[in-house]
């Protein structure tokens, strides 16, 4: 629980009563919780929430009790969720029954907990924010990271050429393992001036044209390079701010870089109806079950070590997904 916004040490383990599910809700026994940047933003106060606050925006577990008028689920069903439950860093959470996702048989609950937020995000980024196809060159930052590793695999599956970035040489093998050729993996740690050197590297790999689309979840440190890496009328998909939020900027920059488009999307707008949520979830869970999509869990921590999990994510040392287990 977070009583007051602050650093990772603001996360404290506390005993509270098991909540009762209300109408349309389900009580879930949490088996694993995915760790996401949004949890750190809510912990630190970058995104304001009501405190005390139980963090955790996704997880997986089993149905422990049903609220009134819940007919779609039974006690014992294995389920996952994103942003539709009370905090997932807890032994029990209350979830909105209409937003719960079934976990396919054969998928472990820690892998299921790692999928909803980053997997559904990668799905909407590569299919809907921009629909990638074989003609496209896509610049994908933090390709060894949570969203980046999944978006990279989805982009390759769509036939696109991916120019992938990593922050250090240690992350290159993971990205190569997804099928990105070594020449298309750019180590940002080796560039002296990201803002000029990265666009030059992207242009070298795109016949001087630049990428059709750039997926930028790093934000403050990379946004200028993102705009400079796109081709005329390319699309900047600024979906996050792992390095900090992008400062207000002059829209004339879009003009100067070649009539660019910019979108700043969020998952809730791409899972706005139960049908859309279920369709995306079925596709992503199905791909993981069929081993067409690899969820790489880079670190697992017990719930009591949630602070260490946040430190790891914020330190830029993580690869793939960080999961808390109960």
Ligand X SMILES: NC(=O)c1ccc[n+]([C@@H]2O[C@H](COP(=O)([O-])OP(=O)(O)OC[C@H]3O[C@@H](n4cnc5c(N)ncnc54)[C@H](OP(=O)(O)O)[C@@H]3O)[C@@H](O)[C@H]2O)c1
- Tell me, by CB under 6 A, how many residues bind ligand X: 30
Select the span of 73-81, 131-139, 195-203, 240-248 touching ligand X (CB under 6 A): 240-248
**One of 32, 70, 142, 230 touching ligand X (CB under 6 A):** 142
Is 239 near ligand X (CB under 6 A)? yes
Question: Residue 48 has which token pair?
Answer: 């304001």
Strand-pairing partners, residue 299, are 322
**145 scored as a contact of ligand X (CB under 6 A):** yes
**What does DSSP assign to residue 14?**
-
Q: Examine residue 146 and tell whether it contacts ligand X (CB under 6 A).
A: yes
**Inter-residue contact 29 to 303 (CB < 8 Å):** no
265 binds ligand X (CB under 6 A): yes
Positions 85 through 104 that interact with ligand X (CB under 6 A): none
Site string for ligand X, 189-228 (x = CB under 6 A): ----------------------------xx--x-------
Report the interhelical angle of 116-124 vs 146-157 (nearest 10°). Answer: 40
**Residues in 12-51 at the binding interface with ligand X, rule: CB under 6 A:** 36-38
CA angle, corner 273, sides to 271 and 275, nearest 5? 95
> Do 307 and 9 meet the contact criterion of CB atoms below 8 Å apart?
yes
User: CA-CA distances (angstroms) from residue 125 to 40, 87, 113, 239, 247?
Assistant: 22, 25, 20, 9, 22
Q: Is-cis flag, bond preceding 247, omega within 30? A: no
Q: How far is the CB of 141 from ligand X (least distance, A)?
A: 6
Q: Does 166 bind ligand X (CB under 6 A)?
A: yes
Does 178 bind ligand X (CB under 6 A)? Our answer is no
Residues that bind ligand X (CB under 6 A): 36-38, 117-118, 121, 142, 144-148, 166-167, 171, 188, 217-218, 221, 239-243, 265-267, 314, 316, 318
């Amino acid at each position: 629980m977070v009583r007051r916004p602050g650093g990772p040490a603001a996360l404290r383990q506390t005993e509270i009563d098991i909540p009762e599910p209300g109408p349309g809700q389900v009580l879930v026994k949490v088996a694993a919780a995915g760790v996401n940047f949004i949890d750190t933003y809510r912990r630190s106060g970058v995104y304001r929430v009501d405190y005390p606050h139980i963090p955790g925006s996704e997880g997986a577990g089993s149905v422990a009790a049903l609220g009134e008028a819940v007919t779609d689920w039974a006690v014992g069903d294995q389920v996952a969720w994103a942003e539709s439950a009370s905090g997932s860093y807890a032994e029990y959470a209350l979830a909105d029954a209409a937003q719960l996702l079934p976990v396919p048989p054969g998928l472990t609950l820690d892998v299921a907990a790692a999928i909803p937020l980053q997997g559904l995000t990668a799905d909407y980024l590569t299919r809907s924010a921009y629909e990638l196809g074989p003609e496209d060159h896509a610049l994908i930052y933090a390709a060894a990271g949570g969203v980046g590793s999944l978006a990279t695999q989805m982009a390759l599956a769509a036939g696109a050429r991916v120019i992938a970035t990593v922050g250090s040489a240690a992350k290159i093998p993971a990205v190569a393992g997804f099928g990105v050729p070594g020449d298309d993996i750019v180590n940002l740690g080796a560039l002296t001036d990201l803002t000029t050197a990265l666009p030059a590297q992207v242009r070298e790999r795109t016949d001087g044209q630049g990428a059709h689309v750039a997926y930028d979840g790093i934000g403050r440190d990379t946004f200028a390079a993102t705009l400079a890496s796109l081709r005329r009328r390319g699309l900047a998909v600024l979906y996050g701010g792992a390095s900090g939020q992008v400062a207000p900027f002059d829209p004339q920059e879009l003009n100067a870089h070649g009539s660019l488009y910019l979108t700043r999307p969020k998952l809730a707008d791409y899972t706005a109806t139960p049908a859309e949520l279920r369709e995306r979830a079925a596709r992503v869970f199905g791909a993981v079950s069929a081993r067409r999509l690899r969820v790489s869990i880079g670190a697992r921590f017990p719930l009591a070590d949630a602070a260490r999990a946040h430190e790891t994510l914020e330190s830029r040392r993580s690869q793939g997904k960080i999961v808390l287990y109960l």
